[in-house]
Structure 1
Amino acid sequence: MEIDSYLAEAGHRTAALATSHGLAVADAAVRLAEAERFHEEKEALAGKLTERWGEPHHVGLQTVRLRTGTEEIPEPWAELSLRVADVYLWQAAEHGRWVALGVADLDPDDEIQLLLVVTETDPP
């Protein structure tokens, strides 16, 4: 995983660690099963990141998503809230960065993705 190089970059970076193929037009049951698999992958990776940075915060992004309609939410949080229901969030304090891990599965017209976000912008 290239997370160490992301930690060294200024600003923010969103990386798709895994992407489904063909699920944007798939049967709902097939999509649901694949989404569950992506969430299992998220849990496995979260375990590794927890070893590095300790227990994560579990952050729901629905409130952030609602706030995008009435206020300016900084990136990458605004875009992330439109794609991901919740994230695991670690503060990599030694790098001055936040690390978020989530599954982008909110839009049935998009492929499902396991996303890793590294940013110096504090969560809203």
Structure 2
Amino acid sequence: MDLDSHLVGTGHRTAALATSHGLVSADAAVRLAEVERFHAQKESLAGKLTQRWGEPDHIGLQTVRLRTATEAIPEPWAELSLRVGDVYLWHVREHGRWAALGVADLDPSDEIQILLVVTDTAPP
């Protein structure tokens, strides 16, 4: 994973680091098992990123998701809050960017993904 290419520039980038296949129509028990597997993979990736960037904050995005109904939440946070329940968040100060790692598993009509979002917009 070439993180440096995501850390340079302005705006935001979202990378799907892993994506399930065929879980949209899968049995609920199968989907749940895959969600657990994706969360385990996220934990492993978070450990590697922690070695590189230091200890992250662990933040829930439910409040952000609720706020999207009544206020303008900046991207990528608005979309991310609709797809991901919580993220590990690093402020990568040497690049002036924020990096968020989470599992997109909130929409049962979509595949599960591990997402890495890099942005110059601070979380709301």
TM-score by length of 2: 0.99
Q: Calculate the aligned-residue CA RMSD, in Å.
A: 0.5
> In the TM superposition, what is the alpha-carbon distance from 1:10 to its structure 2 partner?
1.3
1:82 has 2:82 as partner: yes
| CA displacement, residues 45-85 of structure 1 (integer Å, 9 cap, x when unaligned) | 00000001111100000000000000000000000000000
DSSP 3-state at the match of 1:98:
strand
After superposition, residues 27-106 of structure 1 pair within 5 angstroms as: 27-106=27-106
Indicate the residue corresponding to 1:4 in structure 2.
4
Residue identity in the other structure for 2:3: I
| Structure-1 separation of matches of 2:74 and 2:46 | 24
Q: How many residues align?
A: 124
Indicate the residue corresponding to 2:122 in structure 1.
122
Percent same amino acid at aligned positions? 79
Structure 1 unaligned residues grouped into runs of 5+: none
| Structure-1 separation of matches of 2:41 and 2:9 | 25
Structure 2 unaligned residues grouped into runs of 5+: none
Structure 1 residue ranges, 4+ long, deviating more than 2 angstroms after superposition: none
| Structure-2 separation of matches of 1:6 and 1:54 | 18
Residue identity in the other structure for 2:34: E
TM-score by length of 1: 0.99
| Structure-1 separation of matches of 2:56 and 2:8 | 21
DSSP 3-state at the match of 1:90:
strand
